[in-house]
């Protein structure tokens, strides 16, 4: 009788072990499934750079323009993002407003607004520039799109009164809109012949690299806000 009972006992123990192992695996699967699901749902952020020739990459191959270099810098930090170059050479703030709806399509998570340099070069009334930028920011906010506002400064030859009025546009807007603010898009690059093309106005490839390096922390803040604003 001994051998008759020992075999079932051995079989029962193995069954129990299998059941316990299966239970452990099921618990592990359940624990991991929500995390995996969240990662799968995290589609790449869609970022549009709404700007002029400074961000469009005037005089440079597209792969050396600001949007492409910014995408590469983010990728190097493990940030997945699709960055669209919506820069138009010669565009003013008012021009950006006119084309806003088709330049920033549905599904856009964030926009980097880089406009105003041509307004200053042409000596346009700063109030016109401010009104156009204000409308852009209002429209993007109404669409629940996170914004980084890149500031601009007037050329020195425009005079101190004009420069004071123009330069004040961007901090004033940043104080009244929920934007990430980068005070001067050409910070560290403007007027440096080593970082600009022959015209002295447009950044060279090295200049674009310098811009990206300086603005990157603000772009990371933009991305963090855009992710937080996504529906759960």
Which sign does the torsion angle of CA 155, 156, 157, 163 carry?
positive
Selected catalytic residue, list 106, 175, 199, 232: 199
What b/e sequence results for 125-164 when a residue is b if at least 16 CB atoms lie within 10 Å of its CB, and e otherwise?
ebeebbebbbebbeebeeeebbbbbbbbbbbeeeeeebbe
Q: The tokens of 55 are what? A: 């961000």
DSSP run (H or E) holding 79: none
Selected catalytic residue, list 53, 55, 94, 103: 53
Strands 180-182 and 146-150: parallel
CA dist 168 and 197 (Å) reads: 27
3-state secondary structure of 44: coil
Strands 146-150 and 81-87: unpaired
Cβ atoms 166, 156 nearer than 8 A: no
User: Is 199 an active-site residue?
Assistant: yes
User: Is 55 an active-site residue?
Assistant: no
Alpha-carbon distance values, 221 to 33, 64, 201 (Å): 29, 23, 28
Selected catalytic residue, list 55, 91, 109, 202: 202
Strands 81-87 and 45-51: parallel
| φ, ψ for residue 29, nearest 5 deg | -60, -45
The residues assigned a catalytic role are 53, 199, 202
């Amino acid at each position: 009788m001994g051998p008759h009972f020992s075999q079932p006992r051995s079989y029962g123990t193995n069954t129990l072990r299998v059941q316990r192992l299966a239970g452990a695996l099921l618990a592990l699967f359940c624990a991991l499934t929500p995390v995996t699901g969240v990662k799968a749902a995290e589609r790449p952020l869609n970022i549009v750079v709404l700007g002029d020739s400074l961000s469009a990459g005037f005089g440079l191959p597209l792969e050396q323009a600001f949007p492409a270099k910014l995408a590469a810098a983010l990728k190097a930090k493990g940030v997945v993002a699709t960055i669209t170059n919506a820069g138009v050479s010669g565009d003013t703030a008012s021009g950006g407003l006119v084309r806003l709806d088709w330049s920033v399509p549905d599904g856009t998570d964030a926009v980097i607004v880089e406009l105003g340099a041509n307004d200053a070069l042409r000596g346009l009334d700063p109030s016109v520039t401010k009104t156009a930028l204000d409308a852009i920011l209002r429209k993007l906010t109404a669409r629940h799109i996170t914004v980084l506002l890149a500031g601009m400064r007037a050329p020195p030859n425009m005079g101190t009164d004009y420069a004071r009025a123009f330069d004040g546009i961007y901090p004033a807007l940043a104080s009244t809109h929920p934007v990430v603010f980068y005070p001067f898009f050409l910070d560290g690059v403007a007027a440096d012949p080593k970082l600009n093309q022959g015209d002295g106005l447009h950044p060279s490839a090295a200049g674009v690299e310098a811009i990206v390096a300086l603005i990157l922390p603000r772009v990371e803040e933009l991305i963090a806000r855009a992710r937080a604003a996504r529906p759960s």
